[in-house]
Amino acid sequence: MLIQWLGHACFLLQSESGKRVLTDPFNEKVGYPLPHVEAEIVTVSHQHFDHNAVTVVRGRPKVIQEPGEHRVAEISVKGVSTFHDKERGAKRGANIVFVINLDALNVCHLGDLGHSLSREQLDRIGRVDVLLIPVGGTFTIDAAEAVQTVAAIEPRIAVPMHYKTAYMDFPITGVEEFTKHYDRVSHRDRLEVTSDGLPEQTEVVVVAFSGGRVGS
């Protein structure tokens, strides 16, 4: 599987057969170049402008924006209900965690998770090979809470997202606040991963912003 970061909480997952899943596309207010890419599936964790701009996606994708079990061709997607804040959604509403099974790998996208996960939610999420986790705080869990969430989920690879960069002026922190907690950190232009090539212990991988360059 190839994983590319298109900015903010938007990733493109591409299977070995070329099938594509796009997570949380954003509109022009965010600051990054828009993710004008084609995909079979688009997941939307919640209905905010920086996560639900499905009209920028090319093709005729299946939009998944509800919890529960979903399947499109050989791709299965499981949505787990969570919240955007610590007040059970009273401040910012609901959030959906998606677990995407592709190429025998479970990729978990936490969306704008705003709280610690319960035991029941962790059980629903299940095994995670690659975790896409918000780390910037203010609107989501912060860096320290993200570290605790990684420890609770125990993925093989943790990829930070939703953090401050030069493209945006959101009041959130940079990725270094998260990565400073780890010894095993690597930086890659894109993440290529196979089910038999996963690290034994959790490794943090910072995936570079693609700059709109999408491809295999």
| Cα-based distances in Å from 84 to 65, 107, 163 | 15, 20, 16
Closest CA to 207 of 132, 106, 109: 132
- Structure token digits, residue 185: 């950190």
48 Cβ partners below 8 Å, 6+ apart?
112
Q: What sections of the chain are H helices per DSSP?
A: 119-125, 143-153, 176-179
pLDDT at 214 (0 to 100)? 67
pLDDT at 50 (0 to 100)? 81
Q: Rounded to the nearest 5°, which phi and psi values hold at 144?
A: -65, -40
pLDDT at 197 (0 to 100)? 93
pLDDT at 216 (0 to 100)? 44
pTM over 0.85: yes
Task: Write out the chain's pLDDT in tens, 216 residues.
Answer: 999 999 999 999 999 999 999 999 999 999 999 888 999 999 999 888 888 889 989 989 999 999 999 999 889 999 999 998 889 888 888 999 999 999 999 999 999 999 999 999 999 999 999 999 999 999 999 999 999 999 999 999 999 999 999 999 999 999 999 999 999 999 999 999 999 999 999 999 999 998 756 654
Give the chain's domains with CATH numbers.
2-207 (3.60.15.10)
Residue-by-residue DSSP string for 174-185? -THHHHTT-S-E
